[in-house]
Amino acid sequence: MNQQHPSMFAVRGLPNGLLGESYVIVSAWQESNALWEAEFHVLTSRPSYARTSGLVEFPLAGYPSELPAIDEVYMEGEARQQAEIALIELVDKRAAQENRPDVLSHPFRLEASNISAVSLWTRGIHLDALKSIAVQTRSPKLKVHLRLVMSIHRLERA
């Protein structure tokens, strides 16, 4: 994989209005020869803009060489799975708040998205989340990517 920008997914399949326009950003990197790391950031816009984040670490010490290699693809998959778990928890919470137990049976999915951090930034969506991720991320490529994104002008709305 070894891409120079983070992976981004749109959350699809949930009823309109439950979490609003929602995305997941995933980034994986090898911190050292002994450690792989990955982050996920779930961005939701209802009932208000919010971010839920997590870190996945995989120490390589003692990992049997006979097993499949731990790499960027593996770590992004792990972070994506953790993001899905976080989304399930968010859906459970919102369903209880809105007294909508019916939404618990709606399957959702993460779709690779043409929407990128550039799109969110220029449209003025999830700005605070993008700014805080840029400051707090441990991912070198995500930090560089978001700093570049935040250097461009946002679109003016008429």
Q: What is the pLDDT of residues 69-99, one digit of tens each?
A: 999 999 999 999 999 999 999 999 999 998 9
39 pLDDT more than 70 = yes
Does the model's pTM come out above 0.85?
A: yes
Of 107, 115, 90, the C-alpha closest to 12 is: 107
User: Are 102 and 91 spatial neighbours (Cβ–Cβ below 8 Å)?
Assistant: no
The SS3 call for residue 116 is: coil
Please give the pLDDT value at position 4: 65
Does 22 have pLDDT greater than 60?
yes
Percent of the chain at pLDDT above 70? 96
Taking a C-beta distance cutoff of 8 angstroms, is the pair 25, 43 a contact? Answer: yes
Chain-centre distance for alpha carbon 13: 17
Beta bridge pairs of residue 52: 42
Which tens digit of pLDDT belongs to each residue from 91-132? 999 999 989 888 888 889 999 987 889 999 999 999 999 999
Q: For the ranges 12-16, 59-63, 81-85, which has the lowest average pLDDT?
A: 12-16
Q: Identify the band that residue 158 occupies on the pLDDT scale cut at 50, 70 and 90.
A: low
**For 45-124, where are the E strands, in sequence order?**
50-59, 109-112
Percentage of the chain lying above the pLDDT 90 cut: 81
Residue 25 has pLDDT above 70, yes or no: yes
- Look at the block and give the residue holding tokens 């792990």: 78
The DSSP symbol for 153 reads P
Q: Residue range 131-142: average pLDDT?
A: 96
Q: What pLDDT is stored for residue 50 in this prediction?
A: 96
Residue 1 has a pLDDT of: 45
